[in-house]
Structure 1
Amino acid sequence: MAVRGGLTEAGDAVAAAFRDEWGRVVATLIRMTGDWDLAEECAQEAFARALERWPRDGVPRRPGAWLTTTARNHALNRIRRGATEDAKLRELGATAGAEEPAEAGGLPDDRLRLIYTCCHPALPVEARVALTLRTVLGLTTGEIARAFLVAEPAMAQRLVRAKRKIRQAGIPYRVPPAHLLPERTASVLGVVYLLFNEGYAASGGADPVRAGLCAEAIRLARLLHGLAPGDPEVAGLLALLLLQHSRHATRTDGSGDLVALEDQDRRRWDHAAIAEGAALVDEALRRGEPGPYQVQAAIAACHATARTAAETDWPQIAALYGRLEAMSPGPVVRLNRAVAVAMADGPSAGLALVDRIEGLDGYHLLHATRADLLRRLGRPDEAAAAYREALALARTEADRRYLARRLAEVRRAD
């Protein structure tokens, strides 16, 4: 053990271990027990034990190994207390320390193998994505609910139903054979995309950007691209993530406040990532099979390759959002298209589109967008009211500070 400090340092270490190790610990226990709920309960117990012991004993040199062993022992104790047959206990005990073959199912990464396993076609698509985000990647039920724009109790019920389906249908927890992998790829891409989004714009907490989640999503996207180099949507997803993440160093200032895209120092963007992402999306689009991730990557490339904010090709971006809306209609896509139209054709054109959007009343960015357009149209009273609505709905401190600054600017200009 390496004793490294007191309660605060140990607590930070537990929080970091949760972000890095939750999925691996739960994955080990699911393989060992076949019981999703037991796996999560024992993983939670291991992290609770860490909060008790690490401040006293010090943070282990290998926190993940400590947590996995503690969770595994707790699971074995639970199984031992509930076992009715010695043979069952011996079977589970024998497999507890076993490692899955490194290249099982042709997938070179344990976490990616598990994501594919969660995305079983017998489950509804949204349930596959939600269950994977919760069980394998460790997002909270609240974070997943916000990603899907649904209420947290509704998402909790969705997760319960998905686990029940797995038990009742006898869905095996195993890597599918290679010929079945493609039918799960769309769900896997959705998981990686939502994982990146939670890192890119955190749905809660003090940090508006969770770079570790973004990096993990890019790592998984690279693995997917290696498995399916000829799939243009896989290439499109990797391109999209690289292009979006290329700006991460400039999206917040030294105080942790959000910096608007037009105000970011483009010299500090990751230009190697931009070049790689732009090349990937160009190659994917040349295949003539455009999909939503490729179109989003093309939009991101328009932003990333513009030398200045004034040189951004907003008409092209608006046209691309129109194509994306035809492929994947939804209120968030319509909102993004409205912003692009406002930049291309003026705030009145954008506001007309925003005012026709339904289903986003609880989404703070709808009200923030409307406020910005009203401000640009010289209607400060209406803009201030919309900023107040957005401020009431914002979930992160960084968003609230940004909106509060905008509200103060509108009041001063009035």
Structure 2
Amino acid sequence: MVRRTVARDEPIRVVSVTRRLTVAGDETRLLNTALGFRPERVEHTVVVVSPTDGADERWTGPMLETYRRAGVDVVSLGLQLRGLRGAPNFARLLVRLTRLLRARRAHVVDARLGVPTTFGLVAAKLARIPVVVSTAYYPGIWTPPFKYVIGQACMFGVDALISDARATLDDFARWRWSDRAELVLIPNGIAAATSDLSVREARRRLGLADDPSVTVVGQVSRIINRKGYETFLHAARLLVDGDPSLQFVGVGFVAEDRAYIESLEALRARLRLDDHVQLLSYPGPIGDVYRALDVFTHLSTEDSSPIALHERMSVGLPTVVTGLPGNLEIVEDGIDCLVVPADDAPAAAVAIRRLIDDPALGRRLGAAARARYERDHRPEVMADAHEALFRRLLAPRDGAGSAHA
């Protein structure tokens, strides 16, 4: 396809396509990218395929409202794609998205995750958009056999595949059939997690004991099965046996796996932790949650580069994290956190206890984490990396013609 060159001082027009806006990692990354773009350099629109109505917000969180309140240009296509009733909407999606891309005179389509990559790519080709990138974190989103073939086909069409961890890109390199797409690492950058509340007020909001002398250990992530909540609960049981005053809280939205929260609540009851552990969703500023905590854990069993780890960096919380490859790209054991094996509740309990018993260690680790955040993980750093990639991909290639938009 003919490339459209963009002058250095000319804004590039980027349309990001996502399926839904929920309180989750990619949506948070996209929000911070949008806020990090400089308006005179990037004109950015976020297209949401499927709506999130008020009844869904108990599970998904108020992310659409958050985007709009932040001033992000959001366009909702209002199309449900799930089940047989959603099948007729696939054609409507292509038509509406193609028209929108032409109307916005986009230079770049940024298609997020699975379904948006498929339809974003096709619509971009129909609208003759010069550059298409995909942002993804797990090859497993393309489950075999049907989605697997579609995912492989997409790799022949996109110009770049962006992810937030080198380990994830290595997984995609092994998975894909075609090496046409450039694999691009852009680490996460997020706004600092701030709160206007005192520790007492934050704990009251979460239904916790508001006495600052009570130690509160918390995990923040979507409540889905790969985030290690079973390990969190078993570690809590081990710690409460030695110190019944400890409080634990897991905070996150459930999204689509609603049976999972029920299984966790049943496990909590079997472990006799109902008086010690809360599992909840919090629609307010995420900084309120971090303000309530003394020790943070992220005990996931599968992850790319979790947003919550970057948030805890921004507030300097003492942290216990599992030693997954993506995690180890942004943390260092004994320097800015304590690292434990995945699925190892005894090891997690020992590390948490160590941070509780040694506040000086926690402060040192937290200060190092905060310094890493300031250096590497602010939103403008991530946004500038996206802009630089888009401008490079828009540049004429050897032997190719060029035309101005």
TM-score w.r.t. structure 1 length?
0.27
Higher Cα Rg, which structure: 1
The structure with the largest helix share of the pair is 1
- RCO higher in structure (CA 8 A, sep ≥6): 2
The structure with the largest strand share of the pair is 2
